[in-house]
Amino acid sequence: MDVDGEELTAQETALYDRQIRVWGADAQRRLSKAHVLVYGMKGTVAEFCKNIVLAGVGSLTLIDDRVATEEAFSSNFLIPSDENVYGGKTLAQLCCDSLKDFNPMVRVSVEKGDISSFDVEFFNKFDVVVVSCCSLSAKKLVNEKCRKLSKRVAFYTVDCRDSCGEIFADLQDYKYSKKKLDETIECHLQYPTFVEAISIPWKALHRRMSKLYFAMRVIEKYEESEGRSAGEVSIADLPGVLKLKKELCTAQSLNESHVPDTLLERLVTNTTEFPPVCAIIGGILGQEVIKAISGKGDPLKNFFFFDAFDGKGIIEDISDSNAGR
């Protein structure tokens, strides 16, 4: 991730004084030169965007051509509640207008188009790519395009349904530093792609693996097999989802108890986001992206899960090197 460049301006130093005291001028400089691309403006992504704009990222580009509706602002605080304001505008346009007010020093812009239609060179303009509201095939494709670039582009997916959320991170070949007592330690992590991670056989994963991991893969597969967009399921789809779960568990030699029917029912019954969970997942994602850009602190590797029912946040390292541990 090449975000080296000129020093912070006096205006930036004054505005970001408090956080410079926390993570240092070098981290803030890297952040202020970084370019972030976001696709899918739902509530969780709105929280994430707010966090990195306030932190002082260099630029933020939004993509979401869906027209704003009354349902959209139930979890997305960036959308004005006045229908006269949001009528006819896309989600990306409305969120862009609101985010500019949070921090005028950050360049916030809108691109139009489907995330899958952009060529590899398009992603070369960015240091971080975050996708949400995406089909399984779109996640795979965008991750693959980021990997084809000569520079390292950090890739994240984020999904929040009802009171559950998931983050995936691919930082590729990642080097960073962390402090331990009075010394600074240089660390190195090798990340799998999204395809590589989800291709690891379920029976090879450790026995206490998050149940949400399996449930999200079942929902993802179901939406793909039915030709649905992400989140386009309802309680009427539950019989089909349960049938697919049984087939996948049999094929993967996994006991069906690892994918509770009650969890799948929650995920298909209410696909809208729960605002407090949006704030948690968006906050974690913002923190991780800042760490990836600055190169300071232990990054997430490579999945994070949160379920408000038990209030637990779980990190799972799902990679070949960690299978079965």
> What domains appear along the chain, each with residue ranges and CATH number?
10-196+273-319 (3.40.50.720), 200-269 (no CATH)
The pLDDT of residue 172? 97
Q: How far apart are CA 266 and CA 247, in angstroms?
A: 20
Backbone angles phi, psi at 183, to 5 degrees: -120, 155
pTM above 0.85, yes or no: yes
Q: Which helix (H) or strand (E) holds 217?
A: helix 211-225
Q: What pLDDT score does 1 carry? A: 56
Tell me whether residue 322 is exposed, middle or buried, using C-beta atoms within 10 angstroms of its C-beta: 0 to 12, 13 to 18, 19 or more. middle
Strand stretches in 144-224, DSSP E: 154-161, 164-170, 173-180, 183-190
| Side chain identity, residue 120 | V
Alpha helices in 87-210 (DSSP H): 91-102, 136-147, 194-198
Pairwise CA distance, residues 122 & 165, whole Å: 28
What distances in angstroms separate CA 199 from CA 149, 244, 325, one per listed residue? Answer: 23, 17, 17
Strand pairing category for 107-111 and 312-316: unpaired
203 Cβ contact list (under 8 Å, min separation 6): 252, 253, 254
Cβ partners under 8 Å of residue 287, min gap 6 = 51
Would you give per-residue pLDDT tens digits along the chain (325 residues)? 555 556 878 888 888 888 887 888 888 999 999 999 999 999 999 999 999 999 999 999 999 999 887 777 778 889 887 767 666 789 999 999 999 999 999 999 999 999 999 999 999 999 999 999 899 999 999 999 999 999 999 999 999 998 999 999 999 999 998 888 888 889 999 999 999 999 999 999 998 999 999 999 999 999 999 999 998 999 999 999 999 999 999 999 999 999 999 999 999 998 788 899 999 999 999 999 999 999 888 999 999 999 999 999 999 999 986 655 5
Report the pLDDT value the prediction gives residue 179, as an integer from 0 to 100. 80
Give the pLDDT score at 322.
Answer: 64
Q: Which pair of structure tokens corresponds to residue 80?
A: 């004005």
Q: Are 274 and 75 in contact (CB under 8 A)?
A: yes
Q: What's the pLDDT at 75?
A: 82
The span from the CA of 84 to the CA of 298, in Å, is 45
Which residue from 15, 21, 110 is spatially nearest to 57, judged by alpha carbons?
15
- Report pLDDT for 313: 95
